[in-house]
Amino acid sequence: MEYLLNLVQRHKAGTALGMHSVCSAHPLVIEAAMEASAQRGLPVLIEATSNQVNQHGGYTGMTPAAFRDFAHAIADRAGMPRERVLLGGDHLGPNAWQDLPADAAMARAEVLIDQYVAAGFRKIHLDCSMSCAGDPVPLPDDVVAQRAARLCAVAERAWRAAGGPAPVYIVGTEVPVPGGAHEDLDELGVTTPGAAQATIDVHRAAFARAGLEGAWPRVIGLVVQPGVEFDHHKVIDYQPGKAAALSAFIEGVPGMVYEAHSTDYQTPAGLAALVRDHYAILKVGPGLTFALREALWALAGIEDEMSGAKEGSAFKDTVLEVMRAEPGYWARYYGGPDADAARVRFDQQYSLSDRIRYYWPHPAIQAAQARLLARLEREAPPLTLLSQYLPFQYEAVREGRVRNRPADLLKDGVARVLRQYMDACTAVPATKELETC
């Protein structure tokens, strides 16, 4: 974590540096992120959420140790040294067990934190903001902070037992919930400086009561709402003027920057403005798998043009059939029981919240994807169809920057988004000076 600690120190000293955080478990997304960072001589930060990866497997089926091994195997393929892969845990707390009473949910959260830190995750977002069964809604700030301190104590014990670099911590949470808003975005507000100060104060006090004064200097980030969000088909862009007071506030807080969630789909200028305004850690997840889906849909279109749909992989139809048969990951997001079927089908494919990302590991979809990629590996897409369906990758192929192979085309679709983040986060060239940061 020395890189991240020094980056925060340099940012606080006046250099507009930041770091993007890749919140995805898709192997092609992670590989694209590692290759893009390696090309610039930068480390990569990969984060898993408590719903995605936990002691019971989460929706990926991976424990923290399994996710670590998964990420390291991808790093080996991508030519990224393992020591340059920073692992983080996002929204770690009772989030996955909100239906349980608080004592039971927190007991599971303690196991979660212990396993994350033991597995080598060292950027830990302590998020106990959610109410459990029987809790008041919303949860009082002092209860949130007390629970976060309880989990920090577990993390500190696990680190001392495992050895290695000390963990760094993020506190606070964004409003609305992660992964895209579900309410009227026109009512989205910016966190007030007073609320940010209160969050810091109540957590600092809780850490002190728990005897964690030594850990507090490693609390490097505060999650706030800077006024950026997205829903199914709308993006709220960052407006620096609305967040000016919040940006100024953190300048007076030693050792701490903001962590911005839901930055997916922000413009390059918006991302750069966020970093300048002290949102030095930018989280991105659905925006990357959305870009991957765009590229997959384009390859499916190319395949249809090349061979005719009857002879193809039926990739898109397979994905949509699986989603219809197994609606658990999208049904409560895309309309109700009376929703128009055509609209639901449209949202399944094109919603910015990208619920389709939960379906990529499905065996039937994996088999159809393998058929699609194998066909385009045997017979490379003609340049004319690349130009039609993947114009950015067409230019990259023509310039020799990307090979005309399906996996490379997919990864470049993701890397285009990642390069926007890296450009925004790097105010100076990736020189040796930055390398030692």
* 72: containing domain: 2-286+418-435
**Alpha carbons 356 and 316: distance in angstroms, whole number:** 11
DSSP state string for 222-291: EEE--S-EE-SS-EE---GGGGHHHHHHHTTSTT-EEEE---TT--HHHHHHHHHTT--EEEESHHHHHH
- What digits encode the pLDDT tens for the residues 87-109? 999 999 999 999 999 999 999 99
Instruction: Verify that 282 and 298 share a domain, yes or no.
Output: no
pTM for this entry: 0.94
At 437 the pLDDT is 33
Same domain, 139 and 44: yes
User: What CATH number is associated with residue 208?
Assistant: 3.20.20.70
Residue 36's identity, in one-letter code, is A
pLDDT at 310: 64
Q: What is the CATH number of the domain that holds 343?
A: 1.10.400.20
Residues 258 and 129 in one domain: yes
Can you name the residues that pair with 219 across neighbouring β-strands? 169
Strands 123-126 and 85-92: what pairing? parallel
* Statement to judge: residues 183 and 239 lie in one domain: yes
Same domain, 406 and 425: no
CA distance 112 to 48: 12
**Residues 376, 311 within the same domain:** yes
Residue 363, both tokens:
């065996």
Number of domains in the chain: 2
* 380 and 430 belong to one structural domain: no
Question: Which residue pairs from 180-186 have beta carbons closer than 8 angstroms and sit at least 24 positions apart in sequence?
Answer: 180/229, 180/230, 180/231, 180/232, 180/262, 180/286, 180/352, 180/353, 180/354, 181/229, 181/230, 181/231, 181/262, 182/231, 182/333, 185/229, 185/230, 185/231, 185/234, 185/236
Which helix or strand (DSSP H or E) is residue 67 part of?
Answer: helix 64-78
∠ CA 278-282-283, rounded to 5°? 150
Q: Are residue 18 and residue 117 in the same domain, yes or no?
A: yes
387 lies in the same domain as 239: no
> Which of these, 21, 19, 15, 27, lies nearest to 289 by C-alpha position?
27
Q: Do residues 381 and 422 share a domain? A: no
Mean pLDDT, rounded, for 232-237: 96
Claim to verify: residue 61 and residue 80 sit in the same structural domain: yes
Q: Are 68 and 120 in contact (CB under 8 A)?
A: yes
Cα–Cα distances (Å) from 327 to 152, 321, 334, 354, in that order, read: 36, 10, 10, 14
Q: Give pLDDT tens digits for 164-222.
A: 999 999 999 975 444 444 455 667 899 999 999 999 999 999 999 999 999 999 999 99
- Asked if 41 and 184 sit in the same domain, the reply is yes
pLDDT tens digits along 363-412: 999 999 999 999 999 999 999 999 999 999 999 999 999 999 999 999 99
Distance CA 291, CA 270 (A): 18
Question: Is 260's pLDDT higher than 50?
Answer: yes
